[in-house]
Amino acid sequence: MGRRTEIVIALPYRPRPLQAELHRTLGRFNVLVAHRRFGKTVFCINELIAKAVANALVEPRYAYVAPFYRQAKSVAWDYLKHYTAPIPGVRHNESELRCDLPGGARIRLFGADDPDRLRGLYFDGVVLDEYAQMNPRVWSEVLRPALTDRKGWAIFIGTPMGRNGFWEIYDRATREPDWFAARFRASETGVIDAGELAAARAVMSEDEYAQEFECSFDVAVTGSYYGKLIAAAEGEGRIGKVPWEPALPVHTAWDLGVGDSTAIWFCQQAGREVRLIDYYEASGVGLDHYAKVLSAKPYAYGEHLLPHDVRVTELGTGKSRLETLAGLGLRARVVANLPVDDGIQAVRNLLPRCWVDAERCARGLEALRQYRREYDDKLKAFKARPLHDWTSHAADALRYLAVGLRPAEGAAAPIKYDNRWIV
């Protein structure tokens, strides 16, 4: 019986010293905070390729996930094709952004903006690129369960955008023994020469430079509508433990998704105080689900505030969602249909009066911190309209609350908070 000949294939990848060291030291769960032009995407694509060709299991599956599907295609697809091109028998499926390798391994690109395409799949390894721009639920509810069958690995990589979900998972990785964390600042890596860094610094604000090149988590999200107001609330101790007061009615404000998430804020009023005591968000379920969620909570409800399009008749049922909710026992009030800019200003006026429960409203707070103007990459400037992504649902629901909330009856004095409630 003849000896099997081993074929060595040279891939067109020459990692930088820091990249090479990372390839050797990665663990199962890894969080890498890296400055712009570090080479994050090239590093991740080649890590996926290396693991895929070496995997001896049946039909290995790997995923590269960007915040948006179109971003995955524009940023990573050409790299994946380029670095796998020398592999004999490799096939690239343009319509599915899929690379099939000899032996059954597959690498596929996805967008976090369409998590349903990831549901029901299994993975041996996943990369979450620019995780700071993603809904954390994509990891916790979709990708983490997809790694369980094969005990797969994950790499979170990106540049900071304030103290959001990326900061939280980085902080976790620095404290837990089975996680690996690293931060790469441009002033320390040597990847970008000093002259280029000086030129970048000359045209950027200090905050922008600190975030993009020095990997600072302490800078407000660029273009954020509410970031400074949320930071002010935290500094004033208005974000912490805010108890439900049974003597006061609970009002809700909804953003009703069609094919995506529905978000609901729960609030109480005491004098001029507006207390955001709870938040709920879900997708892929009917209105009856939300009626059951509200019914299961111990609150005595006041008004349910909904957007104007709730009156639109649905072709499938012949009823509007307003009528459907009424049939489920929820009598709603439709708020005024103001321009988005006016609604955003109403939220800005409201937030200085808000106390927010940090635990029950965590997901909504995260969205408000990141809700921002859309950026035009060609013009290198912010557009006048908000970016529509996962943060929009919570932000829109709060906008309806700010527009529709009536002043509290009477002049009841605000209830004083015990300092033990504030964390």
Q: Alpha helix (H) ranges present in 204-319?
A: 206-212, 227-235, 287-296
Q: Is the model's pLDDT at 96 over the cut of 90?
A: yes
User: How high is the pLDDT of residue 419?
Assistant: 31
Q: Is the model's pLDDT at 13 over the cut of 70?
A: yes
User: How high is the pLDDT of residue 418?
Assistant: 36
User: How high is the pLDDT of residue 246?
Assistant: 96
Q: Is the model's pLDDT at 280 over the cut of 60?
A: yes
Give SS3 for 20: helix
Give SS3 for 120: coil
State the Cα–Cα distance between residues 341 and 399, nearest whole angstrom. Answer: 10
Query: What is the full DSSP assignment across 131-151?
Result: GGGS-THIIIIIIHHHTTTTT
Sequence letter at residue 63 = A
Here the tokens at position 330 are 């929820």
Q: Is the model's pLDDT at 420 over the cut of 60?
A: no
User: How high is the pLDDT of residue 380?
Assistant: 57
Pick from 131, 151, 117: nearest CA to 28: 151
Q: Is the model's pLDDT at 350 over the cut of 80?
A: yes
In the DSSP assignment, the letter for residue 420 is: G
User: How high is the pLDDT of residue 9?
Assistant: 63
Q: Is the model's pLDDT at 83 over the cut of 70?
A: yes
Contact between 33 and 158 (Cβ < 8 Å): yes
| Mean pLDDT score, 87-109 | 96
Quote the mean pLDDT of the chain.
89
Pick from 31, 15, 43, 37: nearest CA to 191: 37
The count of other CB atoms within 10 Å of the CB of residue 288 is 12
| Mean pLDDT score, 224-239 | 90
3-state DSSP helix/strand/coil % of the chain, to nearest 5: 35, 20, 40
| Mean pLDDT score, 107-135 | 94
State the Cα–Cα distance between residues 376 and 43, nearest whole angstrom. Answer: 26
Here the tokens at position 249 are 């009615």
Sign of CA dihedral 189, 190, 191, 197: positive
266-279 pLDDT, tens digit per residue, is: 999 999 999 999 99
User: How high is the pLDDT of residue 195?
Assistant: 94
| Mean pLDDT score, 13-30 | 95
State the Cα–Cα distance between residues 143 and 16, nearest whole angstrom. Answer: 29
Q: Is the model's pLDDT at 11 over the cut of 90?
A: no
Q: Is the model's pLDDT at 406 over the cut of 80?
A: yes
Length of the chain: 423
Pick from 38, 4, 2, 1: nearest CA to 21: 38
124-175 pLDDT, tens digit per residue, is: 999 999 999 998 889 999 999 999 999 999 999 999 988 788 988 999 999 9
State the Cα–Cα distance between residues 305 and 90, nearest whole angstrom. Answer: 54
Q: Is the model's pLDDT at 356 over the cut of 90?
A: yes
Burial (Cβ within 10 Å: 0-12, 13-18, ≥19) of residue 54: exposed
User: How high is the pLDDT of residue 381?
Assistant: 66
Instruction: Give me the domains of the chain, ranges plus CATH numbers.
Output: 17-212 (3.40.50.300), 227-407 (3.30.420.280)
361-386 pLDDT, tens digit per residue, is: 998 998 998 898 887 666 656 778 89
Pick from 84, 353, 382: nearest CA to 398: 353
Q: Minimum mean pLDDT among 9-18, 105-114, 135-144: which range?
A: 9-18
165-210 pLDDT, tens digit per residue, is: 898 899 999 999 889 999 999 999 999 999 999 999 999 988 889 9
| Mean pLDDT score, 308-328 | 83
| Mean pLDDT score, 270-295 | 93
User: How high is the pLDDT of residue 315?
Assistant: 55
User: How high is the pLDDT of residue 228?
Assistant: 86
User: How high is the pLDDT of residue 138?
Assistant: 93
State the Cα–Cα distance between residues 397 and 118, nearest whole angstrom. Answer: 27
Q: Alpha helix (H) ranges present in 259-409?
A: 287-296, 321-327, 340-350, 362-370, 392-404
Give SS3 for 406: coil
